[in-house]
Structure formats: structure tokens, C-alpha cells
Amino acid sequence: MTFRTTLLSACLLFFGCTSLSAETLKIGLNYPETGRYKHQGLQQRLGAFLAVEEINQAGGVLGQPLELVIRNTRGEPERGAKNTAQLIDRDGVQMVFGGVSSAVAIASGKASRERDRIYFGTLTYSNATTGSEAHRHMFREPYNAWMTAKALGQYLQQHHANDDYYYITADYTWGWSVEESVRQFSNTQDTARHPGVKTPFPRALITDFRKALEQAAESDAKVLMLVLFGDDMVRALNVAYEMGLTKRMQVVVPNLTLGMARQVGPTMMEGVVGAAPWVWNLPYENDYSRGKDFVEAFSSRYEMRPSSSAASAYSIVYQYKDAVERAGTTKTENVIRALEGHTYSFLKDEQHWRELDHQNVQSVYVVKIKPRAAIVADEYASDYFEIIDAMSGEQAAQTKEEWEERRRQAGKPLRL
């Protein structure tokens, strides 16, 4: 299925979801339909549509059908905040979710807080989202940079402890968080031995990536750490492959998604290592029945495999439904209390919404891209990820003391 066909299917489903009665319960999806993160945004949209359709077929939420109202952030924080305000003030949504850029999620979350609505971060990895910028109305469904780096650091210490690294990092809050955390847990804080360069965000040019990669090529590094996401990672990895760097260095992309892997393709992606909160083959390898049901439904409807971005959006809609039904109301304060400390199993093993910071504590997986033959053998040519290591959420997450120290450094209160 082509990108255009998939988008058309999503639009048809959207119209089906919105042609509901006036008594609908509205929720808002704030995602990048355009821009460098549009592929991750599309997965969010498709995952959200599927959840809404399933829930409505089962009777809705407290007897009300869900209505999904969508806005395009374009990957811009100001646009994300403006969209959030309109979704709540004009469209009357009871909850907002979405975001690929952490800067967008943080700005949007603040707009939600000002209007007493919950914001669920759907694809936001910066530590700040549930750290220095955490507040009572923000809940983050995926893992954060700290959790990513701790699991990835365990693997890197075992396999690349004596190697030199070179970091190429997107110059914004997510990139800073990931680089800082990966350096800490891989013991590569020495920037003289393990140098790096920042690339502009959000408007980096191909020449920016080429210049950075030329500097990496001139170094003694054995590990190339690409702290880039979406189209930026895709373009940089294409250049790295052309330069032969993928053959002489271990490429690590800390946050990998299926969409990014598919954009680059199996030949150039082979052997790349990264981390993910969820991959579509995980439910089959561990016999998570609800996760398998999701993969089958998504794959059948859209003729493609779901990414972690789709799984996150899908999970959020169900988590909101569950919290509203446990609270018996859509009143924000009651729903917040229903979420805080709640433990559940859905698409994978056990997860819980930590009351301390509203971070979703969950297992983290280190993955490696499989050889081309294995990838294309899948029905949808998408069997990209070999799970090579894992870490429990409790082990990966910041402790209460570590979180509080970050809050002190930021001059923020120690309670949300």
C-alpha cells in the first residue's frame, strides 16, 4: 500500500469516525501530518483511528461514542500549543494526545494544563517531558531518554566498552536529553575522546549532515551515535552509507521506529542498533495475546505493520477509556487520580503510570536490524527488528531521588 493510499484509507476512516451523534465524547489528536516527522505522525493517526473504531463498535465510553478531532502540528511547538487551545476551547475535546517532537509535546501539554485537560505524550522521548517540565496534566506513554539510554548503555558496555564514539545530535531538547543520557550510561562523557557535533533543528540541510559525517570519518571512532529522528535520521544514514561509514563503524540510532527503518530500507539499515519501547514482533515472541490482536487488526486494515508510534496512540485511547470508566466521569481531576499509580498489561508485559512524575514505566528493548533476506520474507516486508537485549521498566526508570534532583536543578517543585 502506498503512502497516498494509506492516507486515503485514514481519511475515509476519519469521516466514518466523525459522522456520529451530537452526544459524542471528543478527544483530540495533535500530530504532524506534514514535516520531517510526518511518517511517525501517520502511524499515530492510524493507530488512533483503529482504537476509536474498536471502542465505538463495543459501545463507546460510558455509553458515549468517541469522536476523534485532529490537528496538524507540522512539527512546530507554537503550532502544537495553538492547536491544543483550539481543540479544547473551540472543539470541546476532553483530552488531547500526540506529538512527535518533544518540544511540541511540552508546549502542547502546557496549553492543556492552562485549560484543565490531560495531555498524553505519544512520541516524546526528552527527559524534560516528565522531568523538569512535568506537571499534573501531562502523562507520557512511551519511555524517556533516560530509560532508553540505561538499557542501551547496558548493551554498549558489554559490546563496545573500549571503543571510541562520535555523536551527531539534533540540536533541541530531545537530542540534548538523549546524548546526555547515553553518554552517562555508556561511560562516554569524555568529549575529548568521544567528540560530537550538533546539527540544526528543525531545518537541517543535507550539507549539515554531510559535514558532520565527514568529521566523524576523520575521527578514530568505532561507534557512530546518530541522535537524530524521523527524516533527519533517514537522510543522515543515507549519507553515512554512501560514505562507507556503515561498514567501518557500528551505527547506533538510540530511538528506532519501524517507519524510519522502512524509509531507509533493509540494505542500508542492516546491523544498525537502537532501542524501542515496542516492536510488532514482540507480542509473537512473548505470546502477548492482546498485542498480537492489535498487530493483526492493524496489518489487515492498513496492509502494513504497526510501529511503536501507532502502538502508543492506540494504547493511549484505550488507557483514557479505561481511566474514564474507572473514574465514572470525564472530569479531569478524577481521571488523573484514576491514572496515577494504575498498573495494567495491554500490548506487552506489565506497565504502570507512576504517580511521582506521570511517566509510564515499562520494559525497554534493545534491537538490531536484521539482514535483508529476513526482513523481506515478512508478508509486509517489515520484519526489521531482532530483539537483542531488554531491561525492566523498574530497572530502567529514574529513581525518586534522581528525579527529585533534576527538579531541584530546574528550580521546580518536588511534587506535581
Q: Are 123 and 103 in contact (CB under 8 A)?
A: no
Q: What are the two backbone dihedrals, phi and then psi, of residue 99, each rounded to the nearest 5 degrees?
A: 100, 130
Handedness of CA 301, 307, 310, 315 (dihedral sign): positive
The C-alpha atoms of residue 176 and residue 267 are separated, in whole angstroms, by 29
The C-alpha atoms of residue 46 and residue 311 are separated, in whole angstroms, by 10
Taking the CB of residue 271, how many other CB atoms lie within 10 A of it? 13
The C-alpha atoms of residue 196 and residue 370 are separated, in whole angstroms, by 27
Q: Are 366 and 158 in contact (CB under 8 A)?
A: no
C-alpha pair distances (Å), 120 with each of 97, 156, 252: 4, 31, 28
Give me the architecture of the 3-144+284-361 domain, per CATH. 3-Layer(aba) Sandwich (3.40)
For residue 356, the SS3 value is: coil
Give Cβ neighbours of residue 58 (< 8 Å, ≥ 6 apart): none
Helix (H) or strand (E) holding 274: strand 273-276
Vertex 352 angle, CA 24 and 285, to 5° = 100
The C-alpha atoms of residue 128 and residue 35 are separated, in whole angstroms, by 23
Tens-of-pLDDT digits for all 416 residues of the chain?
A: 444 444 444 444 444 444 444 599 999 999 999 988 999 999 999 999 999 999 999 999 999 999 999 999 999 999 999 999 999 999 999 999 998 889 999 999 999 999 999 999 999 999 999 999 999 999 999 999 999 999 999 999 999 999 999 999 999 989 999 999 999 999 999 999 999 999 999 889 999 999 999 999 999 999 999 999 999 999 999 999 999 999 999 999 999 999 999 999 999 999 999 999 999 999 999 999 999 999 999 999 999 999 999 999 999 999 999 999 999 999 999 999 999 999 999 999 999 999 999 999 999 999 999 999 999 999 999 999 999 999 999 999 999 999 999 999 999 999 99
Taking the CB of residue 4, how many other CB atoms lie within 10 A of it? 8
Which ranges constitute the DSSP H helices of 115-229? 145-159, 173-186, 206-218
Q: Are 108 and 76 in contact (CB under 8 A)?
A: no
Quote the radius of gyration of the chain (alpha carbons, Å).
20
- Whole-prediction pTM: 0.92
Vertex 328 angle, CA 323 and 332, to 5° = 60
The CATH number that domain 146-277+364-396 falls under is 3.40.50.2300
First to last CA, the chain: 44
Please give the pLDDT value at position 101. 87
Can you tell me which residue has the cell 542500508?
A: 268
Q: What are the two backbone dihedrals, phi and then psi, of residue 304, each rounded to the nearest 5 degrees?
A: -160, 160
The C-alpha atoms of residue 383 and residue 337 are separated, in whole angstroms, by 39
* Amino acid at the residue 125: Y
Q: Which three cell numbers stand for residue 137?
A: 496534566
Please give the pLDDT value at position 219. 97
The C-alpha atoms of residue 233 and residue 204 are separated, in whole angstroms, by 11
Q: What are the two backbone dihedrals, phi and then psi, of residue 246, each rounded to the nearest 5 degrees?
A: -70, -15
The residues of the chain that CATH labels 3.40.50.2300 are 3-144+284-361, 146-277+364-396
Please give the pLDDT value at position 379. 97
Can you tell me which residue has the cell 502506498?
A: 2
Q: Are 313 and 257 in contact (CB under 8 A)?
A: no
* Amino acid at the residue 335: V
Can you tell me which residue has the cell 553518554?
A: 183
* Amino acid at the residue 133: E
